[in-house]
Structure formats: C-alpha cells, structure tokens
Amino acid sequence: MHTVRTASITPSRRWRVVDIVVAAVVGVASGVIFWAWGLAWTPLSAALTFLGPGAAGLLSGGWLFAGVLGGLIVRKPGAALFTEIVAGVVEMLIGNQWGFTNFVWAAVEGAAAELAFVILLYRVWNLGGALFAGALAGVSTGILDTTFTSLAALDAAQKWLYLATSVLSGAVIAGLVGWLAVRGLAATGALSRFAAGRGARVVDDGSDLPPQRSGTVA
C-alpha cells in the first residue's frame, strides 16, 4: 500500500523580504498619521470635556491601528509589534510634545496587539480577531495613560471611564476601521502577495465556489 503525501497547509511564519518592506511602509505611513492625530488631540479632547476628562479615551484608537494593520496584513509573529514601533519612531522623529514617550507607548501598544494574535494562535484574521487586537491595545494605552501621565490625577470613576473609552476606541478605530482598510486594499489587488489579499478576494466567475459533482446537470 502506497502512502499518499499531502502538502502542508500550515502557513509559513518565516518573514519574507516583502513582509518586512510592507510592514515598514505601513508603519511609516501610520507614524505620519499618528503625528497629525497628535496635533488634533488638544482641540478634540477639549471638545469631549462635557462628558468628563475620562472621555478623552475615545481618541486613543488613533494611535493603535498600526499594529492591528500590520498583524492583519503580514500575519507573521512580531508583525503587529514591529509595525506599531515603526509608527511610534516616525512620530517621535517628526516631533511633538511627547518625545521619547512615543516610542515607549508604541512598544507597549504594539505588544498588546501582538498578544491578541498570540492568544488566537496566529490563526484568526477575521473581524473578531481585529476587534480583539484593537481592544487589547486599548487596554494597554488606557493603563499607561492613567498611570504615567497627568491623567493619573483623575478620580477613580474618570480613570475607569478613560480605560473603557480607550478599549472602545481601540476596537472601533484600530480594529473595525483597520479590518475594513485591509479589505479595501485587498480588493484593489495591492495585497495579492499576502494571504490577507487572497483571502478577501472576490471572484465574480465563481472560481472560489466548491466544484460541482461530476455528472451533475445544472
């Protein structure tokens, strides 16, 4: 009896050159957006004061999406962490009031998003996985901000509000919007060299449909 060998369907977790390049490009582009988001932070947070200072956590997601994007596109261990750190470094180099803190926060937030993908065993890349990664990143920034910034002076109720709104913002801005962005890029063919692009591809000719049984009359 002959043994039939089947090809492994487990995706490789080894980084390719294209993975590094794309993750870096996503990180750099995100870093520029982070910097612009920082400029908008003061007026936007002031506009939310009627809800209480803790409501400013609703803006946190604007600094969390890079890691989620990197993870969803590259789908390799370390992608979320790498992309978020690159974004934080770019934001720091452009310059703002937070300086080296940009790097520290990005490292922690990227690690939190990475942890989500670790928990999911690098196998879940759907909307639920994206929301989970964004929410976990929101937890990290909520804890950092209410512990090591001026927000540490808030009372307990406002700290909890900030943490809750950070999680919500992370899930929506980083998770949902990030997932939609990946699908949008995949639809253009820009991610054709990635599983993210192939998985989201819409085929109009029915080639992705299960094959009909031989002899079936349509």
pLDDT for the residue numbered 13: 86
pLDDT for the residue numbered 11: 66
Per-residue CA distances from 127 to 96, 108, 179, 181, 218 (Å): 33, 22, 6, 11, 35
Per-residue CA distances from 10 to 15, 29, 86, 185, 195 (Å): 14, 31, 28, 24, 12
pLDDT of residue 146 exceeding 70, the answer is: yes
pLDDT for the residue numbered 200: 56
Query: pLDDT-based confidence at 199, cuts 50/70/90?
Result: low
pLDDT above 90 coverage of the chain, percent = 81
Closest CA to 115 of 87, 94, 134: 134
Please state the pTM of the whole predicted model.
Answer: 0.86
pLDDT for the residue numbered 156: 97
pLDDT of residue 114 exceeding 50, the answer is: yes
Task: Please check whether residue 133 is in contact with residue 116, taking contact to mean a CB–CB distance below 8 angstroms.
Answer: yes
What count of other Cβ atoms lies within 10 Å of the Cβ of residue 6? Answer: 5
pLDDT of residue 159 exceeding 90, the answer is: yes
What's the token pair of residue 87? Answer: 């974004």
Q: What is the b/e burial string over 20-38, where b = at least 16 CB atoms within 10 angstroms of the residue's CB? A: eebbeebbeebbebbbebb
Q: What is the DSSP string of 36-54?
A: HHHHHHHHHHHHTGGG-GG
Q: What number is the average pLDDT over the span 4-32?
A: 82
Task: Please check whether residue 79 is in contact with residue 71, taking contact to mean a CB–CB distance below 8 angstroms.
Answer: yes
Write out pLDDT tens, residues 78-107.
999 999 999 999 999 999 999 999 999 999
pLDDT for the residue numbered 212: 41
Q: What number is the average pLDDT over the span 122-139?
A: 98
pLDDT for the residue numbered 12: 78
pLDDT of residue 204 exceeding 60, the answer is: no
pLDDT for the residue numbered 211: 41
Closest CA to 112 of 89, 132, 91, 86: 132
Q: How far apart are CA 119 and CA 60, in angstroms?
A: 23
Q: How far apart are CA 167 and CA 184, in angstroms?
A: 24
Most confident of 50-54, 173-177, 185-189, 190-194: 173-177
Average pLDDT, the chain: 89
pLDDT for the residue numbered 120: 98
